[in-house]
Amino acid sequence: MPATSVAAPRLHWMTATVRDVIDETPRVRSLVLGVPEWPGHRAGQHVDVRLTAEDGYQAQRSYSIASAPQAAQLTLTVERIAEGEVSPYLAGEARAGDRFELRGPIGGYFVWTPELGGPLFLVAGGSGIVPLMAMLRQRAAANSTVPATLLYSSRSVDDIIYRAELERLAGQGDGLQVVHTLTRERPAGWNGLARRIDRAMLESVGFAAAARPRIFVCGPTPLVEAAARSLRDIGHELHLIKTERFGPTGT
Amino acid sequence: MNMDRQREVPLDGNAAGGRLRELFALDMTAAEIICDGCGAVAEIGAVRVFGGAMGAILRCAHCDTVVLRLTHTPAGLWLDMRGTRRLFVASPAS
Query: Can you give the pLDDT of all 251 residues of chain A as single tens digits?
Result: 444 555 566 789 999 999 999 999 999 999 999 999 999 999 999 999 999 988 988 888 899 999 999 999 999 999 998 778 888 899 999 999 999 999 999 999 999 999 999 899 999 999 999 999 999 999 999 999 999 999 999 999 999 999 999 999 999 999 999 999 999 999 999 999 999 999 999 999 999 999 999 999 999 999 999 999 999 999 999 999 999 998 643 33
Q: Is A224 left (phi over 0), alpha (psi -120 to 50) or beta?
A: alpha
- The verdict on a CB contact (< 8 Å) between A106 and B18 is yes
Which residues of chain A neighbour B92 with C-beta distances below 8 Å? 1-2, 4-7
Cα separation of A25 and A117, whole Å? 31
Q: Within an 8 Å CB–CB cutoff, is residue A208 touching chain B?
A: no
Chain B residue with CA closest to A48: the answer is B18
What confidence score (pLDDT) does residue A163 get? Answer: 98
Residue B43 is nearest to which of A85, A109, A128, comparing CB atoms?
A: A109
Residue A11 is nearest to which of B2, B18, B43, comparing CB atoms?
A: B18
Cα separation of B45 and A5, whole Å? 11
pTM of the predicted model as reported, rounded to 2 decimal places:
0.92
What confidence score (pLDDT) does residue A59 get? Answer: 86
Give the number of other Cβ atoms within 10 Å of residue A220's Cβ: 21
| Chain pair A-B, CB pairs under 8 angstroms | 134
- DSSP assignment of A200-226 equals HHHHHHS--GGG--EEEEEEEHHHHHH
Nearest to B27 by CA among B71, B92, B82: B92
pLDDT digits (tens, 9 = 90+) for B15-61: 889 989 988 989 999 999 999 999 999 999 999 888 766 788 999 98
pLDDT above 70 covers what percent of chain B? 85
What confidence score (pLDDT) does residue B52 get? Answer: 66
Residue A244 is nearest to which of B6, B12, B31, comparing CB atoms?
A: B12
What distance in Å separates residue A246's CA from the closest CA in chain B? 5
Cα separation of B52 and A11, whole Å? 21
ipTM of the complex model: 0.86
Q: How far is CA B80 from the centre of its chain?
A: 10
What confidence score (pLDDT) does residue A81 get? Answer: 85
Q: Within an 8 Å CB–CB cutoff, is residue B29 touching chain A?
A: yes
Cα separation of B8 and B49, whole Å? 9
Residue B94 is nearest to which of A2, A47, A61, comparing CB atoms?
A: A2
What confidence score (pLDDT) does residue B92 get? Answer: 72
What distance in Å separates residue B82's CA from the closest CA in chain A? 23
